[in-house]
């Protein structure tokens, strides 16, 4: 059973937060780090990054695959042209007609009313 991109991303994010918060919480329990909370945050960040690189490859791979599949699906799906693209097409058509020698204004669908 495949997980959706949202679930994979949520699981990975929670694991990354836990990889930081657990060491940070444990260091804050030590008397040496209670006054130097910023040093505990730096060490917890280094530990969290290390844990993520070593142990969270599989969840990161799932997130990356689901995001790539989602992007590929959105790029392959037909999309409606924006107003800017429609206007550019009209301008290109008008420029082509003008370069051929005669200019006739193209009929615009929204000018009928």
Domain membership flag for residue 52: yes
Residue 63 lies in a domain: yes
Backbone angles phi, psi at 45, to 5 degrees: -65, -45
Q: CA separation (Å) from 80 to 67, 89, 111?
A: 22, 14, 20
Residue-number span of the structural domain to which 58 is assigned: 5-100
Output the pTM of the full model.
0.59
107 located within any domain: no
Residue 109 falls inside a structural domain? no
pLDDT digits (tens, 9 = 90+) for 52-103: 999 989 988 988 888 888 888 877 777 778 888 888 888 999 888 888 876 5
Minimum mean pLDDT among 28-32, 38-42, 53-57, 104-108: which range?
Answer: 104-108
Number of domains in the chain: 1
| Residue 105 covered by a domain | no
Residue 18 counted as domain residue: yes
């Amino acid at each position: 059973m495949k997980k959706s991109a949202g679930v994979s991303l949520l699981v990975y994010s929670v694991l990354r937060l836990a990889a930081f918060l657990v060491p940070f919480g444990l260091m804050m329990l030590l008397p040496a780090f209670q006054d130097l909370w910023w040093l505990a945050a730096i060490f917890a960040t280094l530990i969290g990054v290390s844990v993520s690189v070593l142990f969270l490859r599989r969840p990161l791979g799932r997130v990356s695959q689901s995001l790539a599949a989602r992007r590929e699906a959105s790029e392959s799906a037909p999309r409606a042209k924006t107003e800017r693209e429609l206007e550019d097409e009209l301008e290109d058509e008008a420029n082509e007609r003008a370069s051929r020698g005669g200019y006739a204004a193209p009929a615009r669908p929204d000018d009928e009313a």
